[in-house]
Amino acid sequence: MSNPPSHELVFLNHSKVQWLYTMEETAEMMNSNLKLNSRDRAVLMKTPFLNGLGSSSLVGMLSAMSVLSLASRTSIFREGEKPDAFYCVLSGYVRLYRLSHEGREADIQICGPGETFAECLLYGGDRYAHHAQAAENVTLARFDMQAVRDLADEQKDVARAVMTSLSRHLLNSMDCVANDRLFTAPQRVANYILARCPVDGGPASIRLPFQKSLLAGMLGLAPEALSRAFSTLRKTGVTVRGRAIQVVDVAALRDI
């Protein structure tokens, strides 16, 4: 196979780009010290943000991007800072939260692989509206905001990707408000489980992708409340061992 200089990348189609940036010299193009493994790469490309982009836009986005790995608990940005980038989670989980005056923290969102955060600041406020912290060891794609703004001004498909991403987030966020206001802790947990079970009514088993304390925050609960919710659900046929959850009858869970 040939090795085209990187300035020709704009003329390549999607799959070639995907193949190409596994090579050493594309690291420079992406303006980063990255070593993306294949799983992270696959996640990145399936993001609503990059997913359906033409090759020219895709290369643009990749140029606006860098990859970083952070240890668990590392702060990604803080509320009130000037936003210069938004992020896409490639692996691990990120916690978005806000602090009360007295220092209590409340999670606003938990972002997993493929999810984007802080992209609302592309056209929204002029300060990060919350803290972002690695909840585990994470790999992130970091997008320079001004660069993406410029790209979105130029290319329709980028603008469309932004709109799609924002729309999804908004729907999720409104769902979150509704869930908090409408359901009790066991109901929220049941909903979480149901959303991750096969649709039919039989038995099912799933595995939590993260610690229970993260799930608690995601559902707006203290860890103790989540624990108690699980134990309430035992009488509905839910068994929990570590991260493994077994459901005797999925249909029965729906009635909670």
Partner DNA sequence: GTCGAAATTTGATCGATGTCAAACCCGCCT
Partner DNA sequence: AGGCGGGTTTGACATCGATCAAATTTCGAC
Sheet holding 204-207, edge to edge: 204-207, 244-247, 238-241
d(CA 250, CA 21): 43
Residue 75 C-beta: closest distance to DNA, Å: 16
Contact positions with DNA (CB under 7 A) in 93-152: 104
109 interface partner picked from DNA, a copy of itself, none, CB below 5 to 8 A per type: a copy of itself
**The one segment of 9-17, 18-26, 106-114, 245-253 that binds a copy of itself by CB under 8 A:** 106-114
Of 160 and 212, CB closest to a copy of itself: 160
Of 82 and 181, CB closest to DNA: 181
Of 36 and 96, CB closest to a copy of itself: 96
Determine, following the binding rule CB under 7 A, whether residue 27 of this chain makes contact with DNA. no
Determine, following the binding rule CB under 8 A, whether residue 156 of this chain makes contact with a copy of itself. yes
End-to-end CA distance of the chain: 58
How many residues belong to the site for a copy of itself (CB under 8 A)?
A: 41
243 interface partner picked from DNA, a copy of itself, none, CB below 5 to 8 A per type: DNA
Determine, following the binding rule CB under 7 A, whether residue 185 of this chain makes contact with DNA. yes
Mark 213-232 with x for binding to DNA (rule: CB under 7 A) and - for no binding.
x------xxxxxxxxxxxx-
Of 114 and 186, CB closest to DNA: 186
Determine, following the binding rule CB under 7 A, whether residue 240 of this chain makes contact with DNA. yes
Please identify which residue in 37, 146, 167, 205 interacts with a copy of itself, judged by CB under 8 A.
167
Q: What are the contacts of 236-239 at 24+ separation with CB within 8 A?
A: 236/190, 238/190, 238/193
For residue 134, give the nearest of 83, 79, 91, 100 by alpha carbon: 91
Determine, following the binding rule CB under 7 A, whether residue 176 of this chain makes contact with DNA. no
- Binding residues for DNA, per CB under 7 A? 104, 183-186, 211-213, 220-231, 240-243
- Binding residues for a copy of itself, per CB under 8 A? 96, 98, 100, 104, 106-109, 120-125, 129-130, 152-153, 156, 159-160, 162-164, 166-171, 173-178, 180-183, 220
